[in-house]
Chains A and B, each alone.
Chain A
Amino acid sequence: MIPRRSHKILVQGITGKQGTFWTKAMQDYGSTVVGGVNPKKAGSEHLGVPVFATARDAAKSAPFDISVMFIPPMLAKAAAIDACEAGARMLVCLTEHIPAHDVMEMHVAAKANGTRIVGPNTAGLVTPGACFVGIMPAFNDRVFRPGRVGVISRSGSLGTLVCLNLTQAGMGQSVFYGVGGDPMIGTNSADALRILDDDANTDAVVLCGEIGGSAEEDAAAYARTMKKPVVAFIAGRQSPPGKKMGHAGAIVSGGKGDYPSKRAALEDAGVAVADTPSALPTLLAERMAASAA
């Protein structure tokens, strides 16, 4: 599922400073926010929508498709399970530093209730010109423009840079899909590739990966089966092994998940890999021209 204006959005933690700032930004951009959650402010109204004690309560009087969490790490598990049990089709989990054992429990709840978790530690999703869910600068039209290129990224800041480069080259985006920087995410790069492969509004895909884990190797296996052109950039070529580079998932250990392995896997699957993000638009144009020929 790709967020559309028709999707109803619940904001867990709507009344906090960040929840308020970004909910307003989402509303201004065109996202349909139908309610919020804060157990201490249930029954009140915030930013023109009702506030509920739980996501399950919200589901009764303000049914929603997507829930987005502005919830601190130690409370994230309970909030996520609440959203899954309330029937969220998609849960966008922005929170970073959720204990891994809690994340594993969240994924069990998601599976049991048919919820797609995006994240944890994602910056969210943007459907340029329509709506966004999360903490991305969708409203900055130097960065995001409507178009037909799908962008997948583990990192919000790198994803922003890549969309900027595409927009500067005149290539708009069908969707920005932030999968998240954690080691155990609900929707990995391969899953996101499949979603964009199935999306009628997407002609080609840019994959922004980083060192650590096996997300790019797994994505390469799927990219091999795709007809749509895929190009990639992988951050971390210069990062020393054995050091966590900010994202809990971005660590090279025991030779696994390093840059050469990821690049080789992608190139072997027919994915062109750019040396810098600014080289992506040219590579993409070449691939799109070749596949149209």
Chain B
Amino acid sequence: MNYEEHAAKPLLARYDIAVPASRLATSADEAAAAAADIGPCVVKAQVPTGKRGKAGGIKLAADATEARAHAARIIGMTIGDWPVEKVLIEAQTPIARELYAAIVNDQASKSPMLLFSPMGGMDVEEAAESNPDAMRHVVIPIIEGLSESAARGAVEGLGLEAVEDEIVATLLKLYRAYRALDAELLEINPLVVTKDNRIVALDCKLTIDDSAEPRQQEVAPLAAPEKRTALEAAAAAEGLKYIELGGSVGVLANGAGLTMTTMDAIAHYGGQPANFLEIGGEAYTKSKTALSILLDNKNMKSLLVNFCGAFARTDVMAEGVIAAWQELKPDIPIFFTIHGTGEDEAVRLVRERLGIEPYDLMDDAVKAAVEAAANGRGAQ
């Protein structure tokens, strides 16, 4: 779950991290009204992606008139594929220095990791690459948490003595927020030192672990909607992971690894996959729902069903596909290859109820589906 700045900053404030006063606006009029209350402000495009500043999505406004003009231009822009529908009107902060701070799940250490740099701002990634010493990395023991001494160690020796205590305090709050929110990533860039030596979070990138949603019910609805096609959204509502890919060979497989492999094999034999759709894990009973979603994709010219059942029983999956196929009567050819748990029964069902012989080798099924898609409809 990704959080846009306007949703993430109030969450930071709950953990006592200072953020500027702000208000969300969805039109130029609303932006002007907010600026009239807030005073000199920054107009910031709200999209769940980086590089907003470079794209022209962040502008300073001295007053309501300027805020209106900027908002009128920014709303309706496209930044990194995202249409801008709203802007945050935020009080200007007197910046003395821009820092960078983040807490992430570190795969290598299987622990939280604090990242801190005295060089925050727009080009922090480039800065970290050209000058690795400028980015401090501190592995945090998850049971004990971030200690004050470890946080101080990240900040020491970087010329920040005057505000070291304040930064350390902010990092400790940041870690509390990361833990309480089940964050995968909590990044503040820039974390600024103001001219009067306060530490303020000027931006925030927050990703909360999807798997933690059941215990993050309160903040889950505040997440940015995922960028999905109508079919992808319909699949997600049914608990299925579906991605449209633009090719003509439909894929229905169980398990992420097998589904990706099937897509690769289609490309290897000269076709293009129409989708990613896996019904592995607990979703294996949903093959009927899955098939109806696939059939709504009009680019699909043939369908390849590849089941390699481990946990997922191929007889249960095949049963669902057959029932849906007989009900929906699609006029495209379908090809099966089935192995693993429940294989004998699944093969028998396909043979007897659809009159189709499943392929023993996946490669043969893939080749047939690719050829049928190339020949267009009615090849069967």
> Which A residues contact B (CB, under 8 angstroms)?
18, 73-74, 94, 96-101, 103-105, 107-108, 123, 135-137, 140, 142-143, 153-161, 164, 168, 181, 183-184, 208, 210-211, 213-214, 233, 235-240, 243-248, 250, 275-278
Contacts and interface: CB of A to CB of B under 8 A. Distances in A.
Given A140-B341, A238-B263, A248-B211, A135 B310 contact: yes
B306 to A, nearest CB: 8
A160 B243 contact: no
Given A104-B110, A107-B110, A184-B110, A156 B257 contact: yes
B66 interface: no
B257 A240 contact: no
A8 B12 CA distance: 49
A183 to B, nearest CB: 5
Given A137-B340, A140-B340, A156-B255, 9 more contacts: A74-B214, A99-B211, A104-B112, A157-B308, A160-B308, A235-B257, A235-B261, A239-B276, A245-B259
Nearest to A250: B256
Contact of A245 (B254, B276, B281, B362): B276
25 contacts: A18-B311, A136-B310, A137-B309, A137-B343, A140-B341, A154-B257, A155-B256, A157-B308, A157-B310, A157-B312, A158-B261, A161-B362, A181-B257, A184-B110, A208-B257, A211-B260, A233-B261, A235-B261, A238-B260, A239-B263, A240-B245, A248-B211, A276-B261, A276-B264, A278-B361
Q: How large is the interface on B (under 10, 10 to 19, 20 to 34, 35 or more residues)?
A: 35 or more
Interface string B325-352: 0000000000000011101000000000
B189 interface: no
Contacts of B182: 99-101
Nearest to A181: B256
A155 B309 CA distance: 12
Contact of A105 (B143, B280, B311, B339): B143
A277 B257 contact: no
Contacts of B340: 137, 140, 143, 157, 160, 164
A94 to B, nearest CB: 8
Given A136-B310, A237-B267, A155 B257 contact: yes
A284 B328 CA distance: 44
B107 A213 contact: yes
Given A108-B143, A236-B260, A239-B276, A157 B179 contact: no
Contacts of B341: 137, 140
Nearest to A244: B241
B343 A236 contact: no
B248 interface: no
At the interface, is chain B mostly helix, strand, loop or mixed? mixed
Nearest to B180: A101
Contacts of A153: 257
A98 B209 CA distance: 10
A220 B212 CA distance: 33
A157 B105 contact: no
Contacts of B108: 214
Report which residue of A74, A99, A240, A244 has the largest number of chain B beta carbons within 10 angstroms of its beta carbon: A99
Contacts of B111: 104
- Name the residue in B111, B184, B253, B255 with the highest tally of chain A Cβ atoms < 10 Å from its Cβ: B255
Going nearest first, the 3 A-B pairs with the smallest beta carbon separation are: A155-B257, A157-B255, A246-B256
B271 to A, nearest CB: 10
A160 B212 contact: no
Contacts of B107: 183-184, 213-214
